[in-house]
Structure 1
């Protein structure tokens, strides 16, 4: 296990996922936005406007890099070319945080445009531990692991998700990214109590929060099905669950994710301000 420490820190306040159409507002009037997150795979090119804008933003804001393509839970080895491109970006940007998902998106040579859940077994634990250690060794820094949004449960799972994440962190030294919306989506879809999940979660290992909107659908039996869509405001029950998280574990850097049907900047800024108010109010 690598002995690593953060290169920088994010403020325990609100951040947003960066979208290029918001560049001018962020540079000139960011309001309550105190830090930014980017998706790593959008910045693995060799120059151009994206990296030029990111350079300016990094002079003004702490940056968190969020990966979506490593396939940490995949059965095959991690893609060495992807890891190499990721390291080039991390070395150049020197972000405050790097995170990825407890999920898989590759099989053999196929890449699936989805973040798919895993069975929580001892074999999975061994494989994901090896992948996390490889990433941290390659990057020379600690990574955070995000809990997934789930639409099914595996009969062969022998670990609960909170215990599985706790054990991964114990074995690798990684931190955790708690996506509060993902907890609510999974709890609704799999019929468990989201507050009981939070009560069992290792909140002391969490270094970042995510908040996002979701869409509601129904399954083939007419039961409610939530989709982690990132295309609308955070729902009220998710804000209430966020309050429960903060009351039990304290404030952390809190990101508002909005990746589809992206609104004007003032809408995102208002969501970020609300996240900060929730943290201030509950902690106080």
Structure 2
């Protein structure tokens, strides 16, 4: 299967940030035929490590004025750093600058009218040492000009087979949904892992159950295939679980809240 369709002309990309997302996005851009011209990070080691993986990329820790020329500047930085970076950087007039955040609105670019603003949101979880199949990653695009949108869409399609235009309100709701599906689920799995460890039980015991739960939830509306003591209103089991969690009052409270939420959907 063909993973990506490189653009006829390679795009020059400035990558501001060298963290989890940037460290996986940079090599993917290079593999798709684009040129990452520079990598900026406040941490010299981080920018140097990432730039070394990208042929022709320069590592910088101080953003020069003017910036090196690029077709797109990606802001792969924490959400709170986007606005200060937009205001404090000497962008070329008309530069296309895009952030990668799920929860930041397109209007964040109002603080810097000299640039064309855009969003290039990859809907995936990024962790060191994990390979990403970029052809399967939904890439969500928004921009404040037609030229910016066209460029971002073309770039996205060179990486992924799943590219969507989403406005800021849709993307925010998607981001919240992603936190429930990914971050909260992972946290609950962490609690389950800790409870197994307390009982000297191996985490592999839950693997078939977790896989079937996810497979079933992806094949059906999840609320319609809910199982467990909350659905059955199995009061003796719920009480026994409450007692079993006595040493973990925060988890006990979370169990009760989730039970109430499940029962509210019936």
Q: TM-score normalized by structure 2?
A: 0.30
Larger Rg: 2
- Structure with greater proportional strand content: 1
Higher relative contact order (CA 8 A, sep 6+): 1
